């Protein structure tokens, strides 16, 4: 089964440090999404790309978050500087046409 | 975005059918009805989707009311592995790309507990 992969699976860091999360979408999928999940806010869409071009990043705090797709096999989400309120599970998803396939997530804890 | 309403939680006995309801009284004619589920400590997983007609796949069935203002996800024989949060989501097939609006807005879903 083709799957979305995410690294790292867990990350503990200190406030102020840079965090980079990586996602490998399913080969052939041209749409990639980044979500964040917390107990308080649930699942929130941060950004999404189609054919590697950013289409919507309105859910993302612009001052500290950035999302890119350097190539079709890699999507990255960076937080710089990280803050304790960024602690959450970050999911990447990819899709061919309206259906999304999610990765296992990166569990981030910012101390 | 059109809104959906689901019960916060449901329980069902193992090996019995489960009917998970979803109300979407403000659904528009261009909205698909999607269901996803999220097992503990995992990412959400696509279950099924439909527009007007009932749909079946290997995981579940989707029954859509004739006026489309409600739908029901049916798990025919629940197992312990089906314990999860189930999300009912409307996705507009217009706008965005040729595939419609690809964004999904997740609500709080229904937490399904399976009793052995």
pLDDT band at A13 (very low <50, low <70, confident <90, very high): very high
Cα separation, B104 vs B91, in Å, equals: 6
Cα separation, B43 vs A109, in Å, equals: 18
- To test the contact with chain B by mutation, choose from A52, A53, A100, A106 the residue with the greatest count of B C-beta atoms within 10 A, namely A100
Query: Which pLDDT belongs to residue B103?
Result: 82
Query: Which pLDDT belongs to residue B97?
Result: 53
Cβ pair A3, A103 in contact under 8 A:
yes
Mean pLDDT along residues A89-99: 90
Query: Which pLDDT belongs to residue A36?
Result: 97
CA distances, A57 to each of A9, A90, B2, B26, B30 (Å): 23, 15, 21, 26, 24
Q: Which residue in B93, B87, B92, B80 sits closest to B110, CA to CA? A: B87
pLDDT band at A87 (very low <50, low <70, confident <90, very high): very high
Residue A85 gets the label, from left (phi > 0), alpha (psi -120 to 50) or beta, of alpha
Mean pLDDT along residues A85-110: 94
Ordered per-residue pLDDT tens for chain B, 116 residues: 568 999 999 999 999 999 999 999 999 988 999 999 999 999 999 999 999 999 999 999 999 999 999 999 999 999 999 999 999 999 887 755 555 567 888 999 999 999 99
The rounded mean pLDDT for chain A is 94
- Residues from chain B that touch A100, judged by Cβ atoms under 8 A, are 36, 44, 46, 102, 104
Q: What is the share, in percent, of chain A residues with pLDDT greater than 90?
A: 84
Query: Which pLDDT belongs to residue B101?
Result: 65
Interchain pair A100, B104: CB under 8 A: yes
Query: A53 touching B, CB under 8 A?
Result: no
Query: Which pLDDT belongs to residue B95?
Result: 58
Interchain pair B104, A42: CB under 8 A: no
């Amino acid at each position: 089964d083709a799957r979305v992969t995410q690294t790292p699976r867990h990350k503990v860091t200190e406030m102020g440090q840079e965090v980079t999360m990586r996602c490998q979408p399913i080969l052939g999928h041209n749409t990639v999404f980044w979500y964040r999940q917390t107990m308080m806010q649930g699942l929130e869409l941060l950004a999404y790309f189609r054919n590697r071009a950013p289409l919507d990043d309105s859910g993302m705090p612009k001052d500290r978050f950035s999302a890119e797709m350097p190539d079709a096999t890699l999507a990255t989400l960076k937080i710089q500087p990280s803050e304790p309120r960024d602690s959450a599970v970050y999911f990447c998803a990819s899709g061919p046409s309206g259906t999304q396939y999610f990765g296992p997530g990166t569990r981030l804890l910012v101390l | 975005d059109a809104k959906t309403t689901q019960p916060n939680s449901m329980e069902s006995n193992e090996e019995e059918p489960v009917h998970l309801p979803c109300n979407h009284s403000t659904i528009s004619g261009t909205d698909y009805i999607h269901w996803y589920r999220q097992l503990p400590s995992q990412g959400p997983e696509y279950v099924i989707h439909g527009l007007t007609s009932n749909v079946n796949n290997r995981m579940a069935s989707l029954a859509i009311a004739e006026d489309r203002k409600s739908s029901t996800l049916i798990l025919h024989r629940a197992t312990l592995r089906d314990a999860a949060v189930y999300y009912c989501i409307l996705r507009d097939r217009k706008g965005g790309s040729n595939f419609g609006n690809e964004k999904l807005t997740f609500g709080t879903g229904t937490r399904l507990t399976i009793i052995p």
